[in-house]
Amino acid sequence: MLNLMRNEWMKLWHKKGTWVMVAILIVITAGMMALMKWISIQDSNFDNGSGLSVEVQAESIPDWHEGVQGDLASIQTRLADDSLTKSERKKLEGEEKVAEYRLANNIEPEDHFSREGMIKQPADIGGTVLLLTVIVAAGIVASEFSQGTIKMLLTRPVKRWKILTSKFLTVNLFGILLMVIGYIVYILLAMILFKSGTGQDLVWNGKEVVEASVWGQSLYMLLLSFGSVFVTSTFAFAVGSVFRSSSLAIGLSLFIYFTGTTISAMLSKYEVAKYLLFTHMDLTQFETGMMLVEDITMPFSLTVLAVYIVVFLVISYSTFVKRDVTA
């Protein structure tokens, strides 16, 4: 198996397109960070684009205490609503405890554009990595058919399922490598472009209010964002294996990625939404609180995703192993 993976890995990196993908990832990540830096400068120098100087703006911006007090009042008003779901109430109660603790201990909120704030939000890398990994996943099997090398590949004294497994593992290893490269570039630029802030990010852990770990939160968000990469690339891999068409696999995968959220939102009030693939692909929703469908939990989402992944792989393996390529 290791030899098969080594061969697939070498074949992948012998293609100029693979190196171009890495370059694209670095450029997009750098561009995204440069844009965030520009936005932070605009926010610090102007009041909603009015052109006010920093001194004048400072006089018009309320103290952070007022902002937290306003948030607390809003939270308490929402908690009085009896129609809240269990998950909504739990989330709001945690936010209430954090706001009360912050005011009681005079702890300033963390600035989103501080170095720490940026480091803890690397999830945007996942979108770029997903698109690049899907391209590889869609073509790693389909290209063998289109280039006519599949017969030579299958005449080797190796079981077909091992060949397909080596390709699947290579795709995922490539996705992981892209995530690592993107993360390193992201962190380096966050350290260079953004200053360390004075505020703290507080969270309610179910028992008490604690300060969120910068690196712990950063790596956790990175891991969650890889979930959508893994699921979508698995789907692309399956479609490419079954239909032997990389363009079809890429097209369907991108369709799911870009329209899935909209479809889930449209069906959110129906029970069927809880079992759609789209609803569970973005695991970062459990951290950001931007839930597509209420009353779903992380274990439930992981279970649904696991079922879909098994289905994709079963179809892919059964088709590849039984396919006649002698003609």
Residues 301-315: tens digit of each pLDDT: 999 999 999 999 999
- Kindly tell me if the per-residue pLDDT of 68 is higher than 90: no
The CA R_g of the chain, rounded to the nearest whole Å, is: 24
The arithmetic mean of pLDDT across residues 54-64, rounded, is 54
| Distance (Å) of CA 155 to CA 152, 158, 189 | 5, 8, 48
pLDDT-based confidence at residue 62 (cuts at 50, 70, 90): low
In a domain, 71, yes or no: no
What is the helix, strand, coil percentage profile of the chain, to 5? 75, 0, 25
Task: Determine, yes or no, domain membership for 278.
Answer: yes
Query: Is there a contact between 203 and 120 (Cβ–Cβ < 8 Å)?
Result: no
DSSP-derived secondary structure letter, 109: B
Query: What confidence tens digit (pLDDT) does each residue in 234-271 have?
Result: 999 999 988 888 899 999 999 988 888 888 888 888 88
**Residue-range definition of the domain harbouring residue 35:** 2-61+110-322
| Structure tokens that stand for 7 in this block | 């061969």
Beta carbons of 159 and 2 less than 8 angstroms apart: no
Task: Give the chain's domain count.
Answer: 1
Is 209 part of any domain? yes
Question: Has residue 183 been placed in a domain?
Answer: yes
214 within domain boundaries? yes
**94 within a domain of the structure (yes/no):** no
Closest among 179, 66, 65 to 131, alpha carbons compared: 179
Strand residues in the chain grouped as ranges (E): 202-204, 209-211
> Is 187 a member of any domain?
yes
pLDDT at 58: 47
Residue 216 belongs to some domain of the structure: yes
Q: Which residues pair with 27 in a beta bridge?
A: none
